[in-house]
Chain A
Amino acid sequence: MLKSAEKILAAAVLAGVLAATGIAIADPQPAPGKAVAAKGETDKARQAVNVPAPAAAPAPAAKPIALGRPALAEEITAWNTDVRADGEGLPPGKGSVKEGEELFLQNCAQCHGEFGEGAGRWPVLAGGRGTLKSERPEKTIGSFWPYASTVYDYVHRAMPFGSNMTLSADQTYAIVAYLLNLNDLVPEDYVLSKDNFPKVDLPNEANFFDDDRETSEKAFWKKDPCMKECSGEVHVTARAQILNVTPDGEAPKGNLE
């Protein structure tokens, strides 16, 4: 059963909703001896407007919740495939640029191009160095990605598109080696393995920095934005229709990948 405070709250929320539709409802029955909302009720009211709910978690003294079961080691192994930037998670194995080239041509080139140049709208994987400040940056493994580990992790987990999780560890090492070679990061005779993987640095790593909008964009926190005569004459400077890229129209290449 609902506690009385919850009843009042539910009724109050409902009343608010119904008020907008013009439906009148009776005042909720006040709880006896509770003219002023106690703190507990205030907290409940706050929950109703999306405030995080520590009260929803079990009380500290509560006994453990008897749900779930221990995960078995082999179950964890089966799903625990992620690889971190420091190499944690890399499985034993190795693969050469040469082996990778063959695998890439068989499994990847139809979308990404024989040299990682990309086909159609599929991602470009190689080249693009020096384009990040340009009008049309080309964000490839060599030009943009900060960590080589991401390539292993992603290829092994989610590629090839449409037949993911079919590549062995050795095959994945080989494909990553080939991609690194396409980006001029390792020589043609390179053999990538768990041991030498952490030594591979990608050139753009240093150009990433953590979110700093609260300081770098502090100007957007303005107390009183202008309300009257905020600018001179305003003119239309560009129209979507002139660009003619609305759906069902002409179809240029988009930038959502």
Chain B
Amino acid sequence: MSETSLPPTERAPGAQPSLSRRSFLNLAGVGAGAAVAVGGRSALAAPATGEPDPNIVPVPEWTKTLGAPVNENPYGKPSVFEKDVVRREVTWLTASSQSSVSFTPLYALDSVITPNGLCFVRHHGGQAEIDPDKYRLMIHGMVDKPLVFTLEDIKRMPGRVNRAYFLECAANSGMEWRGAQLNGCQFTHGMIHNLFYTGVPLKTLLDMAGVNPKGKWVLAEGADAAVMTRSIPLEKAMNDCLVAFAMNGEALRPEQGYPVRLVVPGWEGNMWVKWLRRLKVGDQPWQQREETSKYTDLLADGRSRRFTFVMDAKSVVTSPSPQAPLKRKGPNVLSGIAWSGRGTITRVDVSLDGGRNWTTARLDGPAMPMSMTRFYLDFDWAGQELMVQSRAMDDTGYVQPTKQELRAVRGTNSIYHNNGIQTWLVRSNGETENVEVG
């Protein structure tokens, strides 16, 4: 902390519990379901007693002291009061921290674009550190001219585009197939982020190499120690895939594949190969480990669905949620996110009674195909118990199913593609839990 940063204000005894993000986070903890103070004194800004608000009288220190200089943090950091808004790991989920996942703190975020430093991270062999001058991308296989590109080549390529897309890991909510497990949307739904990518259409590069008419699939390979590989249908590769070098306007973060990653809109995150080094055109899929032994969906009858690339429509209420409990009776803003790999979110309904009755939520901000959409429901809370759910719909007419509906057709062994409706139980004290209802 810099010497010019100010400590949090001391609160006078008997003062209102703060509504600040900081104390909210301290109370919420990490999925601890900590109880919060609700009711009692009114949440109005001005105390009814007529005593002046100590945050107004006397004038706060920060108003009477020079602040930090302009370049205190040459890159920039969030407020010290936001220090708890970070990615988090669930260490017992995986065998090693190099082949693991760190989750997006969805409960603390708003709007539709995920900040670069908070995007969930999934590696299979740790984070590769690639010198951009030594970066090479090779295209070969069933092409007329096998080619090698440098990063500079890609950045000089005509036809650069900007596109906003969500990236969801196929295993997002995978721990919840057999019942409610993890207490917080960061952990149940946090393997997703939504970014503006800058790059060139994959089609441009494939056209330069000249794809053989018999070519039907593209193998994408990463340069990390997992040498991640996935087979992608050529039709998808030529349609909307991007070779991206920037996220939200800056160079890709190393953990997101610096300097170049593949963007495969609407399809499962594992296919978005990071540290992209090779594209090979072929006439059949390669049946790689991540499309056979993993990322296939085992059904109740023992058979397995493969090449389940598309991420179906899904949504989750991010507030209230276990890490973001309700703090006050009266006006409250229920907030959440919805997305569909099949197209654009057209509607989100919210239920406060476990799915018996639904109200259509308000979508705000851009609703773009294969991009995260924000929804709100402004409501008054009288302190009654709530069973909060959200239900997304997309422009293909797909309606997000309940967990029961999903289990009825798939069983509970799928691991991947769990897009069932989430329920949060809000108790009368505001404490919020991950529950299943029936």
Contact = CB atoms under 8 A, between A and B. Distances in A.
B55 interface: no
A127 to B, nearest CB: 14
Contacts of A237: 435-438
B287 A234 contact: no
A257 B180 contact: no
B221 to A, nearest CB: 7
Interface stretch (A30-38, A71-79, A189-197): A71-79
B307 A210 contact: yes
B89 to A, nearest CB: 7
Contacts of A81: 227
A225 to B, nearest CB: 5
A199 interface: no
A212 to B, nearest CB: 7
A40 B51 CA distance: 63
B159 A56 contact: yes
A52 B343 CA distance: 12
Interface in B355-410: 355-358, 364-366, 368-371, 387, 391, 393, 396-401, 405, 409
A211 B306 contact: yes
Interface in B292-340: 292-294, 296, 298, 300-310, 312, 322
Contact of B239 (A52, A56, A133, A245): A52
Contacts of B289: 150, 153-154, 158
Contacts of A147: 287, 292
Contacts of A65: 157-158, 204, 208
B246 interface: no
Nearest to A153: B288
A85 interface: yes
Contacts of B139: 71
Interface string B220-236: 01000111010000000
Given A70-B146, A82-B286, A240-B180, A254 B201 contact: no
B353 A57 contact: no
A220 B305 contact: no
B171 interface: yes
Contacts of B437: 234-237
A240 B355 contact: no
Interface stretch (A91-99, A100-108, A138-146, A176-184): A138-146
**What is the predominant secondary structure among interface residues of chain A facing chain B?**
loop
Contact of B308 (A54, A164, A213, A220): A213
Interface residues of B, number: 125
B147 interface: yes
A246 interface: yes
A217 B207 contact: no
Contacts of A255: 174-175, 177, 415
A52 B240 contact: yes
B287 A247 contact: no
B215 interface: no
Contacts of A49: 366, 368-369
A132 B293 CA distance: 13
Greatest chain A CB density within 10 A among B124, B304, B409 is at: B304
A208 B405 CA distance: 22
Interface in B117-159: 124-125, 138-140, 145-149, 153, 156-159
Contact of A82 (B125, B221, B370): B221
B425 interface: yes
B236 to A, nearest CB: 10
A149 interface: yes
A239 B358 contact: no
B107 interface: no
A251 B91 contact: yes
Contacts of B356: 229-231, 234
B106 interface: no
B358 A226 contact: yes
Interface in B227-278: 227, 229, 239-240, 265, 277-278
Contacts of A139: 293, 298
Interface stretch (B5-13, B15-23, B160-168): B160-168
B303 A209 contact: yes
B94 interface: yes
Given A111-B95, A162-B225, A247-B31, 8 more contacts: A49-B366, A69-B148, A157-B229, A221-B399, A229-B357, A236-B425, A239-B436, A241-B434
